[in-house]
Structure 1
Amino acid sequence: MTVIELSFEQAMLVLDKALQKKHLSNIQEMVLRLCWSGYTYAEIAESSGYDDDYIRDVGFRLWQMLSKALGENIAKSNVKTVLRRHYSSLKQVDSQVSTIAAFPTPKIQQQQDWGEAIDVSVFYGRQKEQELLQRWIIDEKCRLLMLLGMGGIGKTALSVKVAEKLQSKFDFVFWRSLRNSPAISDLMRELISFVSQQSAASLPENLDVQISYLMKYLRSRRCLILLDNIESLLQSGETSGHYCTGYEGYGQLLRRIGDEVHQSCLVFTTRETPSGFTAREGDALPVRSLQLTGLSAVESQQILATKGLVDSTDECQQLIQRYAGNPLALKIVATTIQHLFDGNICQFLQQGSVIFGDIWEILEQQFNRLSANEKQVMYSLAVKQDWVSLQHLQQYVIPQISERELLEALFSLQRRSLIEQRSASYTQPTVVMEYVSENLIGKVCCEIPTAENYSLA
């Protein structure tokens, strides 16, 4: 007799039917997934950062829950055998149902709504990132993915490029920009109408019920949803990740899509990590993030060549390094070099300043979102112009803040992609450091009293 090799995704289909309206929590699914892969409780605790006893307790309650749902004793040692047997039974039932056509399923016509998605017919590099995202979405069935990076790094273009490559794998593809901060009710109305093929004539007012309605379609149909610029929904002037008043529903939507079992995927792009995401992501979990950094030297040179810059390799390398391979910044500066310096990179580099125009505006927008503590940390790093240890950094921040506040600020700045970390030391990308330095000089100059500020005695 041939033994069926059951995948974890097939096992989850068995449990989805057995548990009916109930679903495994995020931590329960993680424990089950890793047990399925042969991890011990101690290994699960170590890889996830949880206490060993807590993981064992989660496992104990999980087996109790599954035993009750499936009507027989289930433990870590026999879970594969039991679920394999139930899966075989389901296949037989499904076959019988198909034969008598008791529950005919209407044919789903593949549909796509690209909204305001940009044209990516000209696209530079990111081959490794494309392959990684494709593996996560198709092979590993991830449910929620975040593309994180500073402004201009290429998050939007990558999301569209990957969606174009994978569109044939999905029944529905839905792409939307959140730059203008649409209300969650408006997005849900559009999204549900689309995936239901306009069969949902009216929706309840309650958001939780609306999301449940959407989840039904995400379980029964293969949907790829892409939301661009989620940072537009987040508050400025505070540590990163807090939703603006009235937009907390987006967090509720992301949590449920990440936590509940379904066969679809939501990808979102952002300059900062929304609250609640970090606790859910992990290398062995269906919620993951990809932080984008600058393009490689070869890919960056392609951008410069497209703009007609063909100076020596050394000069091109200097230019690429100063802008950390940021594709948008390279496109902007290449146009400037052509118009103001007759295409001479060397002359541009000699004039000193690399932050101007649209590049300044991009960084200004992101810097203005920072909390007071984050700005102080950024100023301190810019003054040092080098890697700074956590211990030394606390001494440089003026006015001084507590260790807790410093750690919160550093963590928030990492989530905004504005600092780099190596071991326990921190610095800023070159282009960010130059902006912050100029910003600090302007701030100091404004605060220095002049003769006009004084009256003669």
Structure 2
Amino acid sequence: MTAVELTFEQAMLVLDRVLQTKHLSNIQELVLRLCWKGYTYAEIAESSGYDDDYIRDVGFRLWQTLSKALGENIAKSNVKTVLRRYYANLVPAESAGSSITAFPNAKPQRRQDWGEAIDVSIFYGRKAEQALLEKWIIQEKCRLVMLLGMGGIGKTALSVKVAEQLQSKFDFLIWRSLRNRPPISALLADLILFLSQETEENLPETTDGQISCLIKYLRSQRCLILLDNIESIFREGETAGHYSPGYEGYGQLLRRVGDELHQSCLIFTTRETPSGFTAREGETLPVRSLQLTGLPQLESQQILSSKGLANSAAETKQLIQSYTGNPLALKIAATTIQSLFDGDISQFLQQGPVVFGDIWVILEQQFHRLSANEKQVMYSLALKQTWVTLTELQQDVVPQISEGELLEALLSLQRRSLLEQQSGRYSQQPVVMEYVTDNLMGQVCCVLS
């Protein structure tokens, strides 16, 4: 009797049952999916854009994980046989003529892939933001939503929290990080295979064709796609939001998802507004953006309390203001205060600098991406230590730049969430100002030494 061929979807049902909460990562599932189709490691590496050795290492660890979970040696050569046997044992046959008849290939009610999404079981504030996003996505059917903010402000956490709240409204949900800069072809293949339940085998060769294929699924079913850290694919040393060479296809993806009619939604987080996005967004349009700022006093205090800090209201308020309610910066500072100052906020604040360790790293990453003109504007603002007008700023920037260049730099800094604006005047957040001042002093010292 010939056994019925096991589909990849059925194999994943077996692994979901066996692995329980320890699901495969997105790259492990990609390797398993393509191995299932007979690809070699070299072919997987070429098609996905990853290094050959990296794919081999992922494969090696994948077989180790499956071997441990299933209690027998698993390799590329026997994975189908073993999972077919497990499937038959887990699901009794409905007829004598087939060893695999349950779990038919019918579309499941819901399917989710959370990738490397973070745990948000402990989450502070953002109630208004959550309600607004739900209104945009569910009631007003927005197709493309940007969560914008500086590093550590909580964009990733908010994206996951909102996805958790809205998951029952979607047939498919998939969350992916772009931190490792996957080629657009690899991402599109990943999304299409997931949304098609691995039935779309002959993917178009062109990026435009692949996006058309993806939109076909966005139209036929309700899908929620979340892309994190999209700034990773932007160029450094230029004004904000320009795609790195070879990554222009991401801009094409965002444009078409925002412009074309479908019933799904793509949410992305970023520290920089992508080029071309601003022209498409609007309060009554299906493309929207949400600028995240620091947490209010109450929620910021909750973060400090969770770290065991119980100082006076004045000291707590000063600490929160120093970091303008940035959740990650507050967590880092609170840990340092507990470790080095016995939980005494006043002693920490007396030391002067509030930019250190991982907080410095976050700002360094963002400052490193600036163009030369943007850096000059940031230095000038830091030296002024107060709010300045456009005219005053143009006089202070050294070397002198034209008004057009200054406006371009200011607009770009706004798109990076590094600029504060108030009644036609400009300044910086305290923590940003301290970092830029220290950076400038370091350059001066290097020149003088």
TM-score (norm 1): 0.75
Q: 1:252 maps to which residue?
A: 252
Q: Kindly indicate whether residue 103 of structure 2 is the aligned counterpart of residue 135 of structure 1.
A: no
Partner Cα separation in structure 2 for residue 186 and residue 394 of structure 1 = 45
In 1, Cα distance between the equivalents of 2:260 and 2:203? 21
CA distance in 1, matches of 2:349, 2:392: 32
Mapping 1:26-425, distance limit 5 Å? 107-425=107-425
Residues 248-287 of structure 1 deviation map (CA, whole Å, 9 limit, x = unaligned): 0000000000000100000000000010100000001000
Tell me how far apart the structure 1 counterparts of residues 214 and 272 of structure 2 sit (CA, whole Å): 26
Q: 1:208: how far off?
A: 0.5
* Letter of the 2:177 counterpart: S
Cα deviation digits, residues 139-158 of structure 1 (max 9, x gap): 00000000000000000000
Kindly state the Cα deviation for residue 423 of structure 1 after the two structures are TM-superposed: 2.2
The amino acid of 2:287's aligned partner reads V
CA displacement at 1:199 relative to structure 2: 1.1
Q: CA deviation at 1:447?
A: 1.3
Distance 2:215 2:362 in 1: 36
Which letter maps to 2:223? C
How many angstroms does 1:218 deviate by?
0.5
Supply the distance in 2 between the matched residues of 1:321 and 1:300 (Cα, whole angstroms). 10
Amino acid aligned to 1:261? L
How far apart are residue 445 of structure 1 and its match?
1.3
Q: Deviation at 1:198?
A: 1.1
Distance between the aligned counterparts of 1:367 and 1:207, measured in 2?
32
Q: Which string of whole-angstrom CA distances, capped at 9 and with x for unpartnered residues, describes residues 396-420 of structure 1?
A: 0000000000000000000000001
Separation (CA, whole Å) in 2 of partners of 1:366 and 1:107:
43
CA–CA separation in structure 2 for the residues paired with 1:295 and 1:309: 17
Task: Work out the CA distance in 2 between the residues paired with 1:108 and 1:120.
Answer: 26
Counterpart amino acid of residue 163 in structure 2: A
Alignment root-mean-square deviation, CA:
1.0
Amino acid at match of 1:393: L
Q: For 2:349 and 2:407, locate their aligned partners in 1 and report how far apart those are by CA, in whole Å.
A: 36
Determine the C-alpha separation between the residues in 2 that align with 1:119 and 1:230. Answer: 20
Distance in 2 (alpha carbons) for counterparts of 1:292 and 1:393: 26
Matched to 2:344, the amino acid is N
Scaled by the length of structure 2, what TM-score is found? Answer: 0.76
User: How far apart in 2 are the matches of 1:373 and 1:210?
Assistant: 38
* Secondary structure in structure 2 of the residue aligned to 1:212: helix
Report Cα offsets for 1:66-92 as digits up to 9, x if no partner.
Answer: xxxxxxxxxxxxxxxxxxxxxxxxxxx
Instruction: Report deviation, 1:108.
Output: 4.7
In the TM superposition, what is the alpha-carbon distance from 1:344 to its structure 2 partner?
Answer: 0.4
What is the CA-CA distance between 1:166 and the residue it aligns to? 0.2
Unpaired segments ≥5 residues, structure 2: 1-105
**Counterparts of 1:188 and 1:160 in 2: how far apart (Å)?**
21
